[in-house]
Amino acid sequence: LALTRLKEKANAMELRDRIEIINASALNPLKFKNKFDVIIAEGLLNVIGFQYGLTLLLKNIKNGGYIIIHDELKDDEEKRILFKNNNLLLIDSFVLTAEVWWNEYFFPLIKKIEDSNEKEIFKKEIAEIEECKKNPSPQESIFYILKKQNNYE
């Protein structure tokens, strides 16, 4: 659905000749070697492992391309060393605190659930909210904005 909406917006803005929308797995990097100008890794590295995931991203991004990573806020120093060792220039980073998560994600989600007539379909979200109330610190996360400086082999 998200890719369909993106395609509709690209067409409406007459950008269809400049944007190629691909629905594929990041776990198949050879298919897209040095193909992308921008890669956004939203939670991906947290799922498949940071170092392994970064290696896949580096194989897919063009020289001079940008990688935006959203990941949990832990091992920040080690991640920054990985960036440097892999010729990635850290342009910027910013933290989403537990307060930001509550104000911008959980409170609107709670409101949607409360307004819904179908609360049963939100069991997973309700459990996540309850867990985060007990222990909010894991909700902190970080965005890294990186630029690939040269070939990665």
Tell me the average pLDDT across 14-40: 78
How many residues in total does the chain contain?
153
Q: For the chain, what percent of residues have pLDDT higher than 70? A: 92
Q: How many CA atoms lie within 13 A of 20 on its CB side?
A: 8
- What pLDDT, in 10s, does the model give residues 56-99? 899 889 999 999 999 998 899 999 999 999 999 999 999 988 88
Angle at 98 between CA 95 and CA 104, to 5 degrees: 90
